[in-house]
Amino acid sequence: MQNNVLEYLENIVGRVPDKTAYADEREGASFSEVYDKSRSIGTFLQQKGHYKEPIVVFMGKHPSAIITFYGVIYSGCFYVPIDEEMPRHRIELIFKSLNPKAVICDNETINTINEFDYKGKVYLYDEAIKTVCDDHALSLIRDRQIDTDPIYIVFTSGSTGIPKGVVACHRSVIDYIENMSEVLRISEDTVFGNQTPLYVDACLKELYPTLKYGATTYIIPKSLFMFPLKLVEFLNEKKINTICWVVSALTMISAFGTFEKTVPEYLHTIAFGSEVFPIKQFNLWRKYLPNARFINLYGPTECTGMSCYYEVDRDFELDEAIPIGRPFRNTDIILLNEDNKQAKQGETGEICIRGTSLTLGYYRNPEKTNEVFVQNPLNDSYPELIYRTGDLGRYNERGELIFVSRKDNQIKHMGHRIELGEIEVVANMHPMIKTACCVFDDIKKKIILYYVGDIAKAEVAAFLKQKLPRYMVPNMIENLDSMPLTANGKINRVLLKEMYEGKL
Amino acid sequence: MEQVLEILQGLHPEIDFETCNTLIDDKIIDSFDIVTLISDLSEEFDVTIPVEEIIPENFNSAKAIYALIERLLEDE
């Protein structure tokens, strides 16, 4: 039985060694290159004495970063992807929570790593790949590895202002990849066009199936997601047939009337998720790609990637939501009502997930882990963990799962999961800001920050951009003389939202 | 021109849009802004920006954006 994700690579390299595995607009890497270089990096880290510890991968979005991920796994360590575009403050918070002993950089990021308050080792990718592979050392590491050993940590927004590191293991990734690939019908002929960043779990959908099936993944340059004609041109040039994108990337194409000029010719599988797809835009996609399969995916980072899917099989009214459908094989969904009992037919309950795809929890954060990775309240006979998503759902008359809303102030924006509380904590860090509160416009997809303080909006914007990832920076900032409060002294979010809506 | 500057300032209040001519090259305007920007411009000037005009050259500066809008208004 397979118990290590690297077995995908080891199996495929014998079958299609010269085929391109990963490529961007500049360079490509064949499966044998991925294999050789990742084993060199694994050997390099082993020789430097790293084992069973987080290794930060601070590199640009290129095939070399993916190779480094696998190299880290070869050494028995787990990779933590950090993006060159992440703001300094967030990277420092991540460093603080990890206390890593080593960071791997490329020729560009090596120039910025010195700016951080980080005292550990810094390695250069170009150096690491020169290491002569030590097969014996790597096989000793492999012999001792089990499938519940971690392979990566990705960070997700935390309401207290501190991002939480989700730790995933071989077993959860294998379970997820196998069952998702079956639904998407991935094969050797699959050509992926990757949109999502390498520092979120969303990219697993392309990275690992590429290894399992000998498919090819093209990393699409980020700048193309502003220029729809160029983007479609790229898809056609690379003969991309499968995409797993955030909804905003898909609607960017359809909303600008791109399809009247050009259509992605090879696309046959379009997976999307983590946000509501406006039906008007969705219908444009279906109209121009009538033979393509459209699959809605749903799932939290804490359960490795996606947990549920719905393949669109009918038309939707403009005010309808596309269901999230049903769980992947070997995953179970339980809807729990407020009494921690199973929700009745049609009743709304919290979506809770059961299965091998549950990750190990949050890194060095037992408190937060124990809040959401809990004993299944329906089972008092033996230990059984479920993950409480904080999402509310219900089943429709067709028996399909429907996403209803969040229990708290978490939002989905441009495909990213954001705690409004984290933005507020950061805004409140500015000495001139007395109080701050965020609201989210679901329709226009805008984050609005209200603040009280003697400071110009421009300065607040500049401050937030230094501290927050781009996708968390408010789209609109408003200065208030005083913050509206509720009877018991809390910020009145409902009133703020009403104020905002009145302004429109 | 004033209206263009105002729309841009709404997106990034800390940037001097009168002088900056590398909005795209320096990633000041990115994929997070483009949809809002185009819908705000279309609304403000009551024009449709055709997809073939959504290219980097037309969005690198406030001046370039304004020139695009003027051109579209003339064509109507």
A313-A314-A320-A326 Cα dihedral, nearest 10 degrees: -20
A333: nearest Cα among A283, A388, A282 = A388
Answer yes or no: is A143 within a domain: yes
* Residue (of A77, A243, A58, A49) closest to A149 by Cα position: A77
A441 shares a domain with A398 = no
Same domain? A361 vs A455: no
**Does residue A310 form part of some domain?**
no
For residue A213, give how far its alpha carbon lies from the nearest alpha carbon of chain B (Å). 31
Contacts of B13 in chain A (CB under 8 A): 456-458, 461, 477
Shared domain for A38 and A163, answered yes or no, is: yes
Residue A494 lies in a domain: yes
**Contact call for B11 and A475, based on CB within 8 A:** yes
Q: How long, in residues, is chain B?
A: 76
State the total domains in chain B.
Answer: 1
At A419, which CATH number? Answer: 3.30.300.30
* Cα(A486)–Cα(A251) distance, integer angstroms: 38
Q: Is B6 on the interface with A (CB under 8 A)?
A: no
Indicate yes or no: CB of B56 within 8 angstroms of CB of A228.
no
What pLDDT digit, counting tens, does each position of A154-165 carry?
Answer: 999 888 888 999
The answer to whether the CB atoms of A251 and B35 lie below 8 A apart is yes
Structural domain that includes position B6: 2-75
Q: Which two tokens stand for residue B76?
A: 């109507």
CB under 8 Å to A410, separation ≥6 — which residues?
Answer: A157, A159, A390, A417, A418, A419, A420
> Hey, is A495 helix, strand or coil?
helix
Among residues A318, A424, A23, the alpha carbon closest in space to that of A192 is found at A23
Residue A504 has pLDDT above 60, yes or no: no
Domain end marker among A350, A385, A404: A404
Question: C-alpha dihedral over A377, A378, A383, A386, to 10 degrees?
Answer: -70
Residue A248 covered by a domain = no
Tell me the pLDDT tens digit for each residue of A356-395.
Answer: 999 999 999 999 999 999 999 999 999 999 999 999 999 9
- The pairing of strands A216-219 and A20-23 is parallel
Provide the mean pLDDT of chain A: 94
- List chain B residues with CB under 8 Å of A257: 50-51
Instruction: Give the domain extent around A127.
Output: 6-169
Domain count, chain A: 3
Residue B32 and residue A470: Cβ atoms within 8 Å?
A: yes
Task: Please tell me whether residues A358 and A493 are part of one structural domain.
Answer: no
A368 and A460 assigned to the same domain? no
Residues in chain B within 8 Å Cβ distance of A230: 55
Q: What is the CATH number of the domain that holds A341?
A: 2.30.38.10
A414, A450, A459 from A471: Cα distances, Å: 7, 17, 18
Give the integer Cα–Cα distance in Å for A338 and A347. Answer: 11
pLDDT at residue A405, rounded to an integer:
87
Chain B interface, best mutation among A227, A284, A479, by max B CB count within 10 A? A227
The 10 Å Cβ neighbour count of residue A262 is 18
Which ipTM was obtained for this model? Answer: 0.91
Q: Which of A37, A29, A357 is nearest to A204 (CA)?
A: A357
How far is Cα A204 from Cα A288, in angstroms, rounded to an integer? 28
CATH number at residue A134: 3.40.50.980
DSSP-assigned states of every residue in A428-465: HTSTTEEEEEEEEETTTTEEEEEEEESS-HHHHHHHHH
Contact assignment for A471 to B10 by CB distance below 8 Å:
no
Tokens of A249: 């990337």
**Is the Cβ pair B24, A226 closer than 8 Å?**
yes
Give the DSSP H/E element, type plus range, for residue B68: helix B62-75
Q: Give the CATH number for residue B47.
A: 1.10.1200.10
Q: Does A471 touch chain B (CB under 8 A)?
A: yes
**What confidence tens digit (pLDDT) does each residue in A28-42 have?**
999 999 999 999 999
Same domain, A361 and A473: no
Specify if A304 maps to a domain: no
Question: How distant is the Cα of A462 from the closest Cα of chain B, in angstroms?
Answer: 6
Say yes or no: A420 and A390 in one domain.
no
**Within a domain: A177:** no
Distance (Å, whole) CA A213 – CA A191: 11
Chain A: closest CA distance from residue B1 (Å): 20
Residues shown for chain A: 504
Kindly report, residue by residue over A64-92, the tens digit of the pLDDT.
Answer: 999 999 999 999 999 999 987 788 888 99
Last-in-domain residue among A345, A375, A404:
A404
* Of A247, A232, A234, A238, residue with least CA distance to A217: A238
Residues B14, A251: C-beta atoms closer than 8 Å: no
Residue after which a domain boundary falls, among A152, A169, A186: A169
Which of B27, B50, B56 is closest, CB to CB, to A257?
B50
In this structure, the answer to whether residues A92 and A143 fall within a common structural domain is yes
For A311-360, write each residue's pLDDT tens digit.
999 999 988 889 999 999 999 999 999 999 999 988 999 999 999 999 99
Given a contact cutoff of 8 angstroms between Cβ atoms, the answer to whether A187 and A213 are in contact is: yes
CA distance A53 to A445: 38
Predicted confidence (pLDDT) at residue A305 exceeds the cutoff of 60: yes
Nearest CB among B11, B49, B51 relative to A229 is that of: B51
Average pLDDT over residues B45-61: 94
Contact A331, A354 (CB under 8 A): yes
Which residue, among A225, A226, A416, A447, would best test binding to B if mutated, counting the most B CBs under 10 Å from its CB? A226
Residue whose tokens read 């069973």: A52
Do A447 and A391 lie in one domain? The reply is no
Bridge partners, A216 (sequence order): A191
Of A225, A456, A475, the CB nearest to B31: A225
* Nearest CB to A461; choose among B13, B29, B34: B13
Predicted pLDDT at A503:
63
Is residue A357 domain-resident?
Answer: yes
pTM comes to 0.91
Q: B13–A457: do the CB atoms touch at under 8 Å?
A: yes
C-alpha–C-alpha distance, residues A369 and A120, integer Å: 27
**Residues of A with Cβ-Cβ distance to B29 under 8 angstroms:** 226
Residue-wise DSSP of A164-228: EEEEEEHHHHHHHHHHHHHHHT--TT-EEEE-S-TTSGGGHHHHHHHHHHT-EEEEPPGGGGG-H
Examine residue A474 and state whether it is found in any structural domain, yes or no: yes
Give residue for tokens 């039906």. A279
